[in-house]
Structure 1
Amino acid sequence: MKKSLMLACALALSVLSASAFAGDGFVRAEVGQSKVKGSLDGGDSAHDDDTAYSLRGGYWFNSNFAVEGNYSRFYDQTLYNDGVDYAKGKLSSIGLGVVVKEHATPTDLGFFVQLRGGIARGKLSVNSSLGNGSATSTKPYYGIGAGYDFSKTFGVSLNYDHNQGSGDGLRISANTLSLGLEARF
């Protein structure tokens, strides 16, 4: 299936006209705060906050549309430690999506708003004195942002993103507010 998906993407890209490739590659780093919530089907739930970061990269086909790949780390904390027994949890994701951006001016500089969304594969890892384990799930993610492009090659933004995952009766969500710096080349 992966080979079929890669072939379909390659064919779709080859059909695009040469002018569509007049855009820019980009890299983006974001850092902020995630609120991670977990709940069991039985009704028990808990939440915690942690510093989050995201590394994103992709290609702007024009000033309004891009594709992106991303890695995000939402949570990395000790859940329990009494000196003998311990439990540590990590929550991260890797994803692929699209970004749509609209500037307030016709020059494609200055203030903008953007929407992004796609599919992310989330991973919850637990390392404890009783053993280690992890679980993954693939779910949609989405986000919104507002920012300022200082030049054709640099911009900043404030972003809100929602990621989710589930499995074996556990549902997890991460809502992240972050500041992003983007360089285009």
Structure 2
Amino acid sequence: MNKHIVLAVSLALAGLSAPAFADGSGFIRVEGGRSDLDFQVDGFGDASDNDTTWGFRGGYWFNANFAVEGFYNQVYSATYNDGFDDYRIKLHGVGIGVAAKKNFGGDHKGFFIGGRAGFARGVATAEYDGSVEEAEASSAKPYIGVGAGYDFNEKFGLSLNYDRFKSSGDGLDVTAKTLTLGAELRF
């Protein structure tokens, strides 16, 4: 099902970048950094952990200040051994939202600050001795993020981003806070 969501988001974003929006530009972003997660498991209590996070974003800037975006993020991946068996847990998600930014050197030039918000659906995958179980969150949850960076020109920029995601389902509530470095290419 997740492949269908990613495909639908990709097709929707591709349709938005049609020539009808000739004043704007499409974009792709690669982000990587650190995630801090808080877990609440029904009947077991609370826990927290951190891990490396990475993701891809794509969308369309309608002008230098406003965009729509779709994304895939992996926020957690860990392997545990209880003395007998290996367990692998992966938390990832897809989402769609809006982004806004203000450049201080002209359109897509110089230093900028920005924000983004939308909805994301989280998925937890657990693997036990080669058997994979997937639990999808029961509903899409809002995400929010802020960032600051530098646009070197109208086609390329770097940013430092902080995002907050929530996911829940199957007796598990997860809050993920990520700090990432992003590289954006506009076309």
User: What interval of TM-score do these two structures reach, taking the shorter chain for normalisation?
Assistant: 0.7 to 0.9
- C-alpha contact (below 8 Å) 2:107/2:154 kept by paired residues: no
Per the alignment, in what secondary structure is the counterpart of residue 145 of structure 2? strand
The residue correspondences of 1:80-91 to structure 2 (distance < 5 A) are 80-82=81-83, 84-91=84-91
Q: Which letter maps to 2:89?
A: G
Q: Distance in 2 between matches of 1:148 and 1:116?
A: 17
Which residue number corresponds to residue 92 of structure 1?
A: 92
Q: Which letter maps to 1:103?
A: N
Normalized against structure 2, the TM-score is what? Answer: 0.84
After superposition, what is the alpha-carbon deviation per residue over 1:19-47, rounded to whole angstroms, capped at 9, x for unaligned? x4311111100000011211134571111
* Identity among equivalent pairs (%): 45
Which residue number corresponds to residue 147 of structure 2?
A: 145
Q: CA deviation at 1:107?
A: 4.7
After superposition, what is the alpha-carbon deviation per residue over 1:78-105, rounded to whole angstroms, capped at 9, x for unaligned? 03352x3121100000111110111123
After superposition, what is the alpha-carbon deviation per residue over 1:57-115, rounded to whole angstroms, capped at 9, x for unaligned? 11100000001110000111103352x31211000001111101111234541110110
Q: Distance in 2 between matches of 1:34 and 1:108?
A: 28
My pick for the range that moved more, 149-158 or 105-114, is 105-114
In the alignment, does 2:76 pair up with 1:75? yes
Q: Which letter maps to 2:145?
A: G
In the alignment, does 2:164 pair up with 1:162? yes
Which residue number corresponds to residue 40 of structure 1?
A: 41
Q: Which letter maps to 1:161?
A: D
Q: CA deviation at 1:168?
A: 3.1
Give 1 or 2 for the bigger CA radius of gyration. Answer: 1
Call closer, same or farther: CA 1:106–1:153 in 2, change over 3 Å.
closer
Call closer, same or farther: CA 1:108–1:38 in 2, change over 3 Å.
same
Which residue number corresponds to residue 126 of structure 1?
A: 126
Question: Number of aligned pairs?
Answer: 174
Q: Distance in 1 between matches of 2:129 and 2:42?
A: 26
Q: CA deviation at 1:125?
A: 0.8
- C-alpha contact (below 8 Å) 2:126/2:132 kept by paired residues: yes
Normalized against structure 1, the TM-score is what? Answer: 0.85
Q: CA deviation at 1:170?
A: 1.7
Q: Distance in 2 between matches of 1:26 and 1:106?
A: 18
Q: Distance in 2 between matches of 1:150 and 1:106?
A: 11
Per the alignment, in what secondary structure is the counterpart of residue 62 of structure 2? strand
Q: Distance in 2 between matches of 1:130 and 1:92?
A: 19
Q: Distance in 1 between matches of 2:62 and 2:35?
A: 30
